[in-house]
Structure 1
Amino acid sequence: MNPNQANTEASQTSDRYIGMWVTQDGYIRHELLPNNRYDEARGDRESAYQGRYEITGNRINYWDDTGFTADGEFRDGVLYHGGYVFYRER
């Protein structure tokens, strides 16, 4: 596989996850942006956390702008991250 093909496949993988992910109670709203950045709101705190993310297969890694790191996993259309369960907002 050439590097351009690998980049295209990685982009297609992450593209399907772009959008808003929310906890069942709506308290945490986690938006994955197309530029590999994320913006997370908690309660009435808009943009409580921001940073970058990278998706490889069904795994996601986060690097918060403050230096905090985290990871998660997409399984059956659900995002498991930081002890929380996120559902795709439609």
Structure 2
Amino acid sequence: MAEIHPYVGMWVTADGRIRHNLLPDGRYDEACGKRESAYQGSYTVIGNHIDYVDDTGFTADGEFVDGVLYHAGMVLRRERMAS
């Protein structure tokens, strides 16, 4: 069985408005405000760099630094699951 990448999971801005769900199959689902699945597409991670390609062909990228995702001027942190 393939190992799950350590960056897989939900990443959110401090206000919770932007949510990136990085799925284990290399797909992502981004929610904006109350709009669930506002953007969907694929992503690739090489080292600490992430490249996004949404289903319309739009591209973007970001960097993971010390457990924080910096993307398009936003700061996203991994959502902690309730225990």
Say whether the fold is shared (TM-score over 0.5): yes
What is the aligned partner in structure 1 of residue 69 from structure 2? Answer: 79
Instruction: Choose the corresponding residue for 1:51, options 41, 50, 60.
Output: 41
Matched length: 79
Aligned-residue RMSD, C-alpha? 1.2
Higher helix share: 1
| Deviation string, structure 1 residues 51-82 (Cα, Å, up to 9, x no partner) | 00000000000001011000000000000001
Instruction: Choose the corresponding residue for 2:51, options 58, 61, 65.
Output: 61
Amino acid corresponding to residue 38 of structure 2 in structure 1? A
* Runs ≥4 residues deviating over 3 A: none
Q: Tell me, which stretches of 5 or more residues in structure 2 are unaligned?
A: none
| Deviation string, structure 1 residues 6-47 (Cα, Å, up to 9, x no partner) | xxxxx75x7100000000000001100000000000010000
Please identify the structure whose Cα radius of gyration is greater: 1
Instruction: Choose the corresponding residue for 2:9, options 10, 15, 19.
Output: 19
Report the TM-score, using the length of structure 1 for normalisation: 0.84
Q: Tell me, which stretches of 5 or more residues in structure 1 are unaligned?
A: 1-10
